[in-house]
Structure 1
Amino acid sequence: MNSLNYRRYLLLPLFLGMGACSNFLDINVTPNNPTAVTPAVLLPGAQAGTAFAESNEINRFAETLVQHLAGANNSPANYDVFQTNGADMENQWRFEIYNGGLINFQKLIELGDATNSKAYTGIAKIMKAYTFSIATNMWGDVPYSQALQGEAFTAPRIDKQEDIYKGNSSQGIQSLFDLVREGIKDLDAPSALKPGGEDLIYGGDLAKWKRAGNNLLLKFATVISRKEPALATSVINEVLAGNNYITTNANDMNFTFGSTVGSQDPRYSYTNVSTFKDDIILSTRYLNLLKSLNDPRLPIFFTKPGADYVTIDNGFRGTLPAPVTNWSRYNKFITGNSGEGPVRMTTNFERAFILAEAALRLGTPGDPQALYTEGITASLSLAGLSADQITTYLAANPTVATLSGTNEQKIAQIITQKYIAWTGNGLEAWNDYRRTGYPVLQPSQNAAGIDGTRPVRAVYINTEIQRNPNFPNPAPQSNVRVWWDVD
């Protein structure tokens, strides 16, 4: 397992830079004592924890599975041929998700309530729901309703993914939807303290947080839409009726890292600084897809070291291209100039593509073609293309610009463009691939794993299975679909 150490690498330098490290280290001792830690101290580290989790090993795992990247060495090379096991992501489970973002958002909720600072509570609930969605989308059934409660549940129940998304009142399980709704409601409540610059996502702009919360409702609804179309339709219609979601790129929910060593985006550090920087390379398959579409984002997303891009095919086991310094890697759009990122969590392009798909699949309001065009335009604009350049590209490439064929063929077009737009966030692309089968991806060369099949879930962590008797044993392997994955 080649993984950057979350606590050493990110949070301590972040808080040292803010002059608040001693308070941060005290949060698990006195979580409700305002003299020990304030919401303003706790919020940025919690946000950083979730952003780090999504852009570190989880991202490398998913980016190779969806073939944005190819694995050249070490763990990514194993992922690329579909090999994964319960030792792969222990740091991600333990330190980045549960003992990282999640526990800190839980403490922030408790602290916000204790200090009558509902603005912080609302943000924390929205981010807690988002972070739990990362965990359940990766692993399926996970500790949820009894997690984060310290000595009260030292071996928390493993809640069904269905209950995490839908809720289960008989077992005291609140749905992710209701957790987000509760957070949005908290943002309207009186608040003794309100966030400012320490909110590294929106700078304390609660109106943007409300829009982001509603975008997350759309995201969660889409994830379960094949399994629970009626519920998904209801949630999407609810959000549309409220008319308060992300509609411009300026309102995207992004986390930006620092530009100094120790606080940078792990995608930058892993591929530019670390001893593992030659583990991943641009996939030949992704290159061919974007070339076939004449896609102008290709040189924006990935480096072109010479006359052409330097790539390998997924699962390739021959002699790697030399020199390694000429490999095509993430470009600054993904990593930032010096490692700032950002990590894009929910965006304007995502909202447009979600509503385009929902209009076709579920019959929710909206013109699929207009929404599809809006999604492509938002992504191209985010990549730096001007309005004139976007118009020219779409006019010159009608097979990209225009939805055609059956509804299913149109959905394939929508998801393919969403897949391209999500380059750099492999988890979101993998979620869409698992639930729709788009874009169609061929097996890697030398495919191994279980029956040579692409993983459809992450494998439970060995140490958690050993520690918590509530985990299934034997645990489901990488070929067992999660609840919402019906394909």
Structure 2
Amino acid sequence: MKLVKYILGLAGAAVIFSSCTKQLEDINKNPNESESVQPDYLLTNGIKANVDTYWGTDASMETSLLYVQYWAKIQYTDPDRYVPAATSIQAVWNNFYAQGVSDFTKLIQLGDTLHNPNYKAVGIIMRSWIFQVLTDLYGDVPYKQTSQIEQYLTPEYDAQRDVYLGLLAELKTAVGLISTSDNPIAGDILYNGKMQRWKKFANSLRLRIALRISDKEFAAAKAVFDEIGADDNNLIIDNLDNAQLIYQASPNQNPVAKNRENRNDYRISKSVVDKLNALNDPRLTIYCALPRDTNKIIGVTNGLRTDSAGRLGLYKTSDVGAVFTATQAPAVLFNAAELWFIRAEAAQVGLLSGDAATLYTKAVTASLKQYNVSDLNVAAYLAQPSVIYNPANYKQSIGDQKWLALFGDGLEGFAEWRRLDYPKLTPAYTGALGAGKMPLRLTYPSSEQALNGVNYKKAVANQGADQLTTRLWFDKE
């Protein structure tokens, strides 16, 4: 009898506890908060948050824009001397994984749940773009296991080769899911629900990745170019189809504009000014602003010490042009010029049929027209011997011009400079990496060593020392 009473007592207590728990859950419900994730809200937030990271302080202004010498610093110059803040490296990793991979993985799942393959396709495309950025920056990164984070709290790192090949497959799947006639989506602040443009973005990303791996995996790259390399209808060949987020008024302003509201420590790099001047380039007055106290565009040498940079004067050196610093300036993820440069190089190396010089001319033209340069000035620019395509040194022709066409897009500019080795940049004046050395990647954040140490050590053993100067797999010497 005592045992029966004990069991009945436990059962009663369980009922009471369950009832109390249910009451607490009911009491703590927020009547103003949705209990299920809405795909349109998730898509809007996912695009905005991750483009902010891509175009923002940590991934661009304090790292890649300086490394590829688009910008320089005139105050607080350590990052320009290759001494990045640990917080910047951590923020890029955290934001892309927590806000990017996580959000778009959820959107992919919602696409299945809601039987809307277009949401799934957009989720795959955006997540693939984020993974491409991550592996470009760090090298080997957690990839396959990150979509099942509940199961893999400490995900394994995948080799960079495997990440790129996986992304090519995922993007092809996304293109196959897209329907332009039904299953509309909402919350799309990149392309306003125009699924044909999403298809162009996905295919253009496939060509970007294929070219990036072509030095190491030529056959795999050629298979992609054979399939879609000449498909004008499904690639970004016109600036009207550029993948770009056009910002709005505060608090949704461009991150560069937001930065300028309370800081004044960035300037145009002397490397850019010198190149634009040498080429009589009409983009000089577009990319560079006139200083307040002078009537001449003056760039700043990368890697000056803070005292030396400060003596140049805040108002005697050039900031970046207004087309990049305006509140509503677009953040560009992929432009038409890049696509034409991809085709030009592909034709040159045998990945694609066509005349490399003609495709190169279209690439330079697309870049100039992106900034509304007149037809007359475009023709005059292209006629210069210093601009005419040189097949004997195609990497210099394409590398120099692609570097200029990607100006402002620090992450993609940094990746392509490493791959092509042009333009020939002089390391930071007082760089902290040693004579003649420049960054070739970001180091892993310290949190990975502390929280995912076993897999971190495997990645370092596979890839090489966790240093800024370690060359990544795609970056052939």
> TM over 0.5: same fold?
yes
Equivalent residue number for residue 218 of structure 1? 207
Deviating more after overlay: 307-316 vs 247-256: 307-316
Deviates more, 1:468-477 or 1:43-52: 468-477
Tell me if structure 1 keeps the 8 A contact 2:221–2:351.
no
Indicate if the aligned counterparts of 1:450 and 1:478 stay in contact, CA closer than 8 A.
no
Q: Is the 8 A contact 1:48 1:101 kept in 2?
A: no
Aligned length: 435
Alignment of 1:273 with 2:261, yes or no, is yes
Alignment CA distance shift 1:247-1:123 (3 Å) = same
CA deviation after TM superposition for structure 1 residue 467, in Å: 0.7
Task: Give me the whole-angstrom Cα distance separating, in 1, the residues matched to 2:304 and 2:82.
Answer: 13
Q: Which amino acid aligns with 2:266?
A: I
The CA deviation string for residues 167-187 of structure 1, in whole angstroms up to 9 with x for no partner, is: xxxxxxxx1011111111111
The match for 1:410 is 394
2:273 is aligned with 1:287: yes
Find out whether 1:247 has 2:234 as its counterpart: no
Using a 3 Å threshold, how does the CA distance of structure 1 residues 221 and 99 change in structure 2: closer, same or farther?
same
Distance 1:329 1:24, change over 3 A: farther
Alignment-derived partner of residue 423 in structure 1: 407
Once the two structures are TM-superposed, the CA of residue 310 in structure 1 deviates from its matched residue by 3.4
Q: Alignment partner of 1:485: what SS?
A: coil
Superposition RMSD on alpha carbons, in Å?
Answer: 2.2
Aligned residue in 2 for 1:184? 175
Which whole-Å CA distance do the structure 1 matches of 2:239 and 2:31 have between them?
Answer: 35
- Write the distance in 2 (CA, Å) between the matches of 1:263 and 1:148: 29
What letter is aligned with 1:45?
N
Give the unaligned 5+ runs of structure 1. Answer: 1-21, 27-34, 167-174
User: Which stretch has the larger CA shift, 312-321 or 109-118?
Assistant: 312-321
- Of residues 364, 381, 385, the one that matches 1:398 is 385
Cα pair 1:226 1:435 within 8 Å, conserved: no
Q: CA deviation at 1:319?
A: 4.7
State the Cα distance separating 1:367 from its structure 2 match. Answer: 0.9
1:472 matches 2:460? no
Residue pair 1:310, 1:321 contacting (<8 A) in 2 also: no
Q: Secondary structure at the match of 2:319?
A: coil
- For residues 409 and 363 of structure 2, the distance between their equivalents in structure 1, rounded to whole angstroms, comes to 16
2:124 aligned partner, one-letter code: K
Residues 385 and 301 from structure 1, CA distance in 2 versus in 1: closer, same or farther, beyond 3 angstroms?
A: same
* Rounded Cα–Cα distance in structure 2 between residues aligned with 1:362 and 1:65: 31
How many Å separate the matches in 2 of 1:372 and 1:190?
A: 35
Counterpart secondary structure, 2:439: coil
User: What does residue range 16-31 of structure 1 map to in structure 2 within 5 Å?
Assistant: none
Residue identity opposite 1:220 in structure 2 = I
- 1:63 aligns with 65
**Tell me, what secondary structure is at the counterpart of 1:349?**
helix
Counterpart for residue 10 of structure 1: none
Q: Distance in 2 between matches of 1:24 and 1:249?
A: 41
d(CA) in 2 for partners of 1:299, 1:467: 48
Q: Equivalent residue for 1:51? A: 51
Structure 2 CA distance for partners of 1:296 and 1:190, relative to 1, 3 Å = closer
Please state if 1:373 is matched with 2:361.
yes
Q: Does residue 205 of the first structure (1) align with residue 194 of the second (2)?
A: yes
Matched position secondary structure for 2:174 = helix
Say whether the 8 Å CA contact 1:85–1:459 is kept in structure 2: no
Q: Give the aligned partner of residue 12 of structure 2.
A: none
- CA 1:465–1:189 in structure 2 vs 1: closer, same or farther (change >3 Å)? farther
Q: Find the aligned partners of 2:289 and 2:180 in 1 and give their Cα distance.
A: 47
CA contact (8 A) 2:229 2:352 kept: no
Partners of 2:278 and 2:449 in 1: how far apart?
Answer: 45
- CA apart distance, 1:83: 2.6
Aligned position for 2:134: 135
Task: Answer yes or no: is the 8 Å Cα contact 2:108–2:124 preserved in 1.
Answer: yes
Cα deviation, residue 55, structure 1:
0.7
| Aligned-pair CA distance for 1:452 | 5.3
Question: Are the aligned partners of 1:303 and 1:309 in contact in 2 as well (CA < 8 Å)?
Answer: yes
Question: Aligned in 2, Cα 1:25/1:344: closer, same or farther, shift over 3 Å?
Answer: farther
TM-aligned CA deviation for residue 288 of structure 1:
0.9
Structure 2 distance, partners of 1:223, 1:148, is 24
**Distance apart, 1:112 and its partner CA:** 1.3
Task: Give the structure-2-normalised TM-score.
Answer: 0.86
Q: 2:349 aligns with which of 361, 367, 374?
A: 361
The one-letter amino acid of 2:104's match is F
Aligned partner of 1:8 in structure 2 is none
- Deviation at residue 362 of structure 1 after TM alignment: 3.0
Higher helix share: 2
Aligned to 1:31: none
1:429-481 Cα distance to aligned partner (Å, 9 max, x none) = 11111112111111221122256510111000001220112112775211111
Specify whether residues 59 and 418 from structure 1 end up closer, same or farther in structure 2 by C-alpha distance, changes over 3 A only.
same
1:290 counterpart letter in structure 2: L
3-state SS in 2 of match to 1:151: coil
1:86 is displaced (CA, Å) by: 4.7
The whole-number CA distance in structure 1 between the counterparts of 2:39 and 2:351 is 42
DSSP 3-state at the match of 2:204: helix
Structure number with larger C-alpha Rg: 2
Determine if the alignment matches structure 1 residue 259 to structure 2 residue 249.
Answer: yes
Distance 1:189 1:278, change over 3 A: closer
**Residue aligning to 1:170:** none
- 1: distance between equivalents of 2:155 and 2:302? 38
Query: Paired residue for 2:10?
Result: none
Offset from partner CA, 1:263-301 (integer Å, 9 cap, x none): 22212222x113xx2222111121111100001001111
**Residues 447 and 80 (structure 1), Cα distance of their counterparts in 2 relative to 1, 3 Å cut:** same
5+ residue gaps, structure 2: 1-29
Q: TM-score, normalised by structure 1?
A: 0.84
User: Sequence identity of aligned pairs in percent?
Assistant: 29
Q: Hey, what's the Cα distance between the residues in 1 that align with 2:320 and 2:457?
A: 38
Q: What's the counterpart of residue 32 of structure 1?
A: none
Return the alpha-carbon distance in structure 2 between the equivalents of residues 247 and 285 of structure 1: 28
Change (3 A) 1:112 1:82: same
Q: How far is the alpha carbon of 1:79 from its aligned partner?
A: 3.0
The residue that corresponds to 1:233 in the other structure is 222
Kept in 2, the 8 Å contact 1:70–1:280? The answer is yes
Q: Report the Cα distance in structure 1 between the residues aligned to 2:216 and 2:427, rounded to whole angstroms.
A: 25
What's 1:310 paired with? 298
